[in-house]
Structure formats: structure tokens, C-alpha cells
Amino acid sequence: MLVARSMVGRLLLGLVLMLAATFPAAPSPAQPVNNIAVEWVAEEAPRPGATVMTAFRFIPRSSDWHGYWSNPGDAGLGLQVRWTLPAGWQAGEPLYPVPQTLRIAGLMNHVYKGEHAVLVPVKVGAGQGPVTASLDYLACTDTICVPQQATVSLRVAQGQRDQRFDAWRAAIAPDIAAPVRFAIENDRLRLAVPLPAEQALSAPHLFIANEGLVKAAGEQAFFREGDLLVAELPLADAGAAGTVSGILSFAQGRGDGVRFTAGPGAVPADLPPLREAPEGAALFLLLGGALLGGLLLNIMPCVFPILSLKAMTLVRAGISERSARADALAYTAGAVLAAAALGGVILLLRAGGEQVGWAFQLQEPAVVVGLFLLAVAITANFLGLYEVPGLPIRSGGKPAGAFATGVLAAFVATPCTGPFMAAALGAALLLPAPVALAMFAALGLGLALPFLLLGFVPALRDKLPRPGNWMTGFRRWMALPMGLTAAALLWLAWRFGGVSYVLMVGGAGALLVVLLGWWGRAQRSGSARPLMAAWAALATVLLAVALLPAPRNDQAAAAGVLDARPFSYAALAEARASGAPVFVWFTADWCLTCKVNEGVAIERDATRAAFDAAGVVALRGDWTRRDEEITRFLGEQGAAGVPLYLWYSPNGAAEQLPQVLTPAMLTERAQAAARLTRAPD
């Protein structure tokens, strides 16, 4: 009854707005029916038995007109749909972007300004016939509302999938991974929302989908401590609610937030109130996390040799204070600009609808081949096979060489960032572009910080060993981790294309070593051929990257101890519907942290035995090559890349596990699930 009264009240309010707008003014021509036009399109051609994503695309005739969310607030009308579908077809629940608030004459409205799309998954049956939808909705300005009606047929783009869905899907509020609880206390609805402390909130707002439950125009209070956000909203109806659903907007007008469905439960009290301007403090924490993450990257096998041998330039005789500072600044500029540029490319691609994440460049075989040849060249340099003026092991190098070294260090370090700053990078993809770029630049600054301090603090340089014969031996020892890096990249090329492809890549590496040896002999003999050899080596690298055939994409995933199925949205839905515990992990062959976790905690006999006893369903998402479905899911979980580990209790919400797993973390959860299954009712 409450919903019916609320609907009648909204229609009356709409009529009042129309009368208020037209009464004092002279009569005006009738409004056209397409103040907000609508079309219904499918992402791809429907196939019987599959689920196709469709979209109602709303196009206002001008910026004056706005539409409404499913719960329009104090006034307006949400979208109403009547389906005409063939036998066996079924439309799912609509998925909405994050709405905006609009307050007029004391009434709070939940609206969409400008063009927007509401996504609806449709299960395709075997029946044939008309596929249409009749829509009732409201188009309003600040002074007038006009009821709209439209009957639309599903349109399917010819050929490939409709690329517009990438941007539309990115605008949909992702489902929060952790469980949300609500309680009704003292005429207020209280919600406990797990939210990472790193997630910045600026003027947040809760849009409650349950019509008539809360006062839309009522004041919302927010409290926060650690990874928990508590919201309090004034009730409009004290009746019981089985679940409460809605969308949490992180900032007004920015379009980012999460959707949730909350069940009854305990909601903590006495949390400190959310600060009026929390974004500055949260941003400081995010920037600090990015800086620390970049600093820790210096111990990675592919970065440590570069930093160590770069530092050797500062202990050689003849390096002045001015040269040390210039070298440090050039190295820092290279690292910062490279990290910011990689982040900027990600933001641009995502803004264009591409599904990409951090370290996306390692998903491209041509980039992997180029990095392999570069690692081979650096290894040969460390072994003394040849010299490159300006690179880290040669005294008197120019700032251009230091800058190039900083760029190189940042580029090869990207796949190692996961365990240190996953939350920060995930949040960066949700933040405004200037803030996100600042975070990526902070990563580069952290990477360059040790060498920057060495260049500007003479006391630190004084603690470095004095020049001597040990430097030659140390330089050659540093060829070992770089050689291992080259071997890992060669293995990744094999994972991309198989034996024939890796033989071609390895052959290009061998030819490069021969040419670099020719260059080195020319350098040592003092002949006039070094430049010719250098150009030949460079041409080998470019030709190898450009002319190698594209690898096959049919390389099967390596068999593991766990009997894991490939991840997909459909596979996850099927596994959760079975009522069994579900473990989902996302990995990539180029992700060092992923491989360590798999060896320590996942691909173990003890884990398999515990999973078998509890009936755990394991799903594995391989992100070695670009996969839009996996990238989309990672974004919904607030992750910028891999690894990501999710545990679903039977019929429960997802628990996001740490990025560094312990051996017992999975077995303990499986054993607990097995005990729960055996427990008597």
C-alpha cells in the first residue's frame, strides 16, 4: 500500500509541476513526445541459450531535460517496462549508472542529466517472434514534467559487437564484493558498508532503491573507521524490510560508486564521523602508498641490477657534486614520466571504452619480445660484452642516459606492483584523471627515490664502497638477475605462442648477442665500425618486434594441482547457484606475485585435499593475454590488476583475500566450510 500511495503521490506532484509551470505563462505549443528519445540495442547478435546484454539508450533533446533512476525520490517516475518476448526469452534486472541528486522546492530527486544507458541482460530462448519493450518514463526540466511513452524493438548491430557497450558498462555502478548489513534503530536506517580506507569520499550520498523506506530529502550522516563506512538515513516508514538495496555515490556528480544489497545484521556504533573534507587525507594516504610501493620495487630482480649499477656511477672517481645531482634528477624524471605516461595511457584507453588494467603492456606479445631483447642486451652489457655511452655502468654518462635508464626501470617494474599497492592502483582508476596521474607519478618517484637521495645527500654516497676491482665483479654478478629476467620473458613468449614461436624469439636474441659482440670487439680495437654494429643491433631488435608472426592464441593453460575451471561470469553464477563454496583466483604468467602465491598456497596437494573434502568449486582467470571479461570483473572488484583472490561461502557474499596468501589461508576456509556442511540442522 505504501508503494501504491507513493506512486500516486509522485504522479500528482508531476501534475502540480506541470500546472505550476504553465499557469502563469501564456499557452505554449504541445511538447513533443521525444523530449528524451530512447532506443533499445543489443551488444551482439542473440544466440539461443545465451544471455545477451542489451541497453536502453536515453537521449535528451537538450541539456535542460533529465530522466529518473528506478527510485525517483520525492517526485518523478522511474522507468516502467512491459516486455513482449518470444517463448523462452527472459529479461533480467536493469542495471543503472550512478544517479545524481536534484533538489527543487524542497523535493529531492534522483536523476540522470544528459545521455545515459540502462543495461538489461536478456536470456535468449528458442522461441521466435517480436522482441519489443513498451516504456513509460518521465522527462522533466526544472519547471515542467512530461510523461513519455515509447515502444521499441531490439536492434542488433550488423557484424561485430557494439563497441559502445564498453563505455556504458563502465558507467554502471559495480556490485560491492563484501557483505553489507543494515539495522533499523530509533527511526533511522543504519547501513554498514565495507569500503577500503584508501577510497576517497567527497560528499557521498546513498541512493536507496526501496521506494518509501527513507526520506529522500532527509539528512544523511556518515561515520568511518578503517575499512568500514556506516551511514544513517531518516526513515519514512518503520515497516520491516527483508533486504535493502541501492547505490553508494562516492562524490556528487562524478559518476563513481558501488551498488549493494544489504541483509539484516549488527551495525557498529560510536564510529567517528566522516570528516567534512576527507578527500585530502585519503588522497595523502593513496599518494603515500604509491610512493612506498615504488620504493619497494627497487628490490625486484629486474630493477635492482639497474639501480645498483646506476649507483656505481656515483662511487667512481671524477664524479662531481653537480654531475651526481644532474644524474639523479634525470633518472628521477625518466622514472616519474614513464610511470605517469603508462597511467595516462590506461586512463585514455578506459575512457574510450577499452578494458585494460595496470601492466597491460605485458599482455601484448610484441612488447614482451621487445623487453626480452632489451633484457638480453642489458645482460650482455653487464657481462662486459660491449659498452653503451651514457648507460649506468660507464662513468661520465650524460643525463640523457640516466633519463633513459629511469624510463627503463619504470617500464619493466610494472608487473611487480601488485602486492604493494593494489588498492591504490584500483582506486586510481576511479579517481579524476589529475589525481590518478599524481598517484602514478608518485609510484615513479618512489622507484627513483633511492638514487635521488644518493645524488643529493653526500653523506649517503660516503657510505658506498670505494672504487676498486670489486666493481667489475659486482657488475658481472648483476648479469644473473637480468639474465633470469630475460629467461622469464622467453618463457612468457612460449606461453603466448608455443615452441615454434619461442624458437624464433630465441633466435632473434642469439643474433642480437652476436651483433653486440661485434660491436664490443670494434670498441675495444678502436676501429671505425662501432657505429655500424650499433645500427645493426638496433635493426635486429626492430625487425624482430615488427616481423615476427603473431603468436597463436590457443596455448592451453598449464595443468595445475587444482581441477580449476576457466573463469567467466556464467561459470561463476553457475558455481554459486550450486550452493558449494567457490574460490576464484586471477593470475597471469608475467605476474611474479601470482606465481609465488600459487606455489605457496594454491597449487598444493593439501589445498586440493581440503577443497575435495568441502566440495569447493575452483575458478581460474588467466589474464596473461587481454581478456575484456576478466578486466571488467577486476574493475568491479576495485582491482587494477592481478593477483586477485575471492572466496564465496555457500550462498554468501564474496570475501576478498589478501594479495599475499599464507599456506593455511585456503585450507582453513575449506575445512570450515566442510564442518558447516556436516553440521546437523
- Total domains present in the chain: 4
Secondary structure (3-state) at 415: helix
Q: What is the pTM of this model?
A: 0.50
Same domain, 525 and 647: no
Same domain, 264 and 289: no
Classify residue 556: in a domain, yes or no: no
Q: Is the dihedral of CA 492, 493, 494, 497 positive or negative?
A: positive
Grid coordinates in use for 488? 622469464
Secondary structure (3-state) at 285: helix
Nearby residues of 636 by Cβ (< 8 Å), 6 or more positions away: 174, 175, 177
Classify residue 605: in a domain, yes or no: yes
Domain boundary among 547, 579, 613: 547
Classify residue 558: in a domain, yes or no: no
Region at 394 (left for phi over 0; alpha for psi -120 to 50; beta for the rest): beta
> Using CA atoms, how far apart are residues 444 and 405, in angstroms rounded to an integer?
12
Same domain, 114 and 184: no
- CATH number for the domain including 89? 2.60.40.1250
Residue 426: its pLDDT value, please?
56
- CATH number for the domain including 658? 3.40.30.10
| Residue of 633, 516, 520, 512 lying closest to 566 (CA atoms) | 633
Report residue 49: phi and psi, to 5°.
90, -10
Residue 172: its pLDDT value, please?
87
Same domain, 314 and 287: yes
> Using CA atoms, how far apart are residues 222 and 216, in angstroms rounded to an integer?
16
The number of beta carbons lying within 10 Å of the beta carbon of residue 105 is 11
The number of beta carbons lying within 10 Å of the beta carbon of residue 225 is 13
| Residue of 146, 142, 151, 150 lying closest to 111 (CA atoms) | 142
Domain boundary among 276, 296, 313: 276
Same domain, 528 and 667: no
Domain boundary among 234, 258, 276: 276
Domain residue limits at 227 = 180-276
| Residue of 270, 278, 288, 225 lying closest to 250 (CA atoms) | 278
> Using CA atoms, how far apart are residues 161 and 180, in angstroms rounded to an integer?
35
| Residue of 250, 167, 259, 303 lying closest to 435 (CA atoms) | 250
> Using CA atoms, how far apart are residues 509 and 516, in angstroms rounded to an integer?
10
**Hunting for cell 650482455 — which residue is that?**
380
> Using CA atoms, how far apart are residues 218 and 234, in angstroms rounded to an integer?
6
Q: Give alpha helix (H) positions in 362-478.
A: 365-382, 399-413, 418-428, 433-456, 458-462, 470-477
Indicate the burial class of 466 (C-beta count within 10 angstroms; 0-12, 13-18, 19 or more): exposed
Classify residue 187: in a domain, yes or no: yes
β-strand 205-208 against 155-156: which pairing, if any? Answer: unpaired
**What DSSP string runs through 475-524?**
HHHTHHHHHHHHHHHHHHHHHHHHHHHHHHHHHHHHHHHHHHHHHHHHHH
Region at 390 (left for phi over 0; alpha for psi -120 to 50; beta for the rest): left
Residue 15: its pLDDT value, please?
37
Classify residue 557: in a domain, yes or no: no
* Spacing of C-alpha 286 from chain mean position: 15
Same domain, 102 and 139: yes
**What DSSP string runs through 314-376?**
GTSTT--HHHHHHHHHHHHHHHHHHHHHHHHHHHHHHHTT----TTGGGGSHHHHHHHHHHHH
Same domain, 164 and 234: no
Whether the bond into 130 is cis, omega within 30 of 0: no
Q: Are the beta carbons of 121 and 172 closer than 8 angstroms?
A: no
Classify residue 287: in a domain, yes or no: yes
End-to-end CA distance of the chain: 37
Same domain, 239 and 130: no
> Using CA atoms, how far apart are residues 437 and 425, in angstroms rounded to an integer?
11
Classify residue 465: in a domain, yes or no: yes
Q: Is the dihedral of CA 622, 628, 633, 635 positive or negative?
A: positive
Residue 361: its pLDDT value, please?
63
> Using CA atoms, how far apart are residues 484 and 490, in angstroms rounded to an integer?
10
Q: Is the dihedral of CA 350, 635, 588, 574 positive or negative?
A: negative
Q: Are the beta carbons of 70 and 115 closer than 8 angstroms?
A: no
DSSP-based helix, strand, coil % in the chain, nearest 5: 45, 20, 35
Taking the chain (681 residues) in runs of 10, the rounded mean pLDDT of each run is 40 38 34 77 89 94 90 88 93 92 86 92 90 93 88 84 85 82 89 83 88 88 88 79 88 80 88 61 70 78 65 59 84 88 74 57 75 84 74 52 78 59 56 75 87 84 70 77 83 81 86 82 69 66 66 57 86 85 88 80 90 91 82 72 84 75 87 70 45
> Using CA atoms, how far apart are residues 362 and 367, in angstroms rounded to an integer?
6
Q: Measuring CA to CA, how many Å separate 531 from each of 518, 541, 545?
A: 11, 16, 22
CB < 8 Å & 24+ apart, contacts of 494-503: 495/555, 495/558, 495/589, 495/624, 496/365, 496/368, 496/551, 496/555, 496/624, 496/625, 497/365, 497/551, 497/552, 497/555, 498/551, 498/552, 498/555, 501/548, 501/549, 501/551, 501/552
Same domain, 494 and 593: no
Same domain, 433 and 293: yes
> Using CA atoms, how far apart are residues 137 and 576, in angstroms rounded to an integer?
35
* Amino acid in the structure at residue 476: R
Q: Are the beta carbons of 644 and 170 closer than 8 angstroms?
A: no
β-strand 80-84 against 66-73: which pairing, if any? Answer: unpaired
Q: Give alpha helix (H) positions in 107-153.
A: none
Same domain, 253 and 285: no
* Dihedral over alpha carbons 566, 668, 643, 254 (to 10 degrees): 100
Q: What angle do CA 472, 476, 481 make, to 5 degrees?
A: 145
Same domain, 342 and 488: yes
> Using CA atoms, how far apart are residues 157 and 201, in angstroms rounded to an integer?
39
Classify residue 559: in a domain, yes or no: no
CB < 8 Å & 24+ apart, contacts of 543-547: 544/369, 544/373, 544/505, 544/508, 544/512, 545/366, 545/369, 545/370, 545/373, 546/366
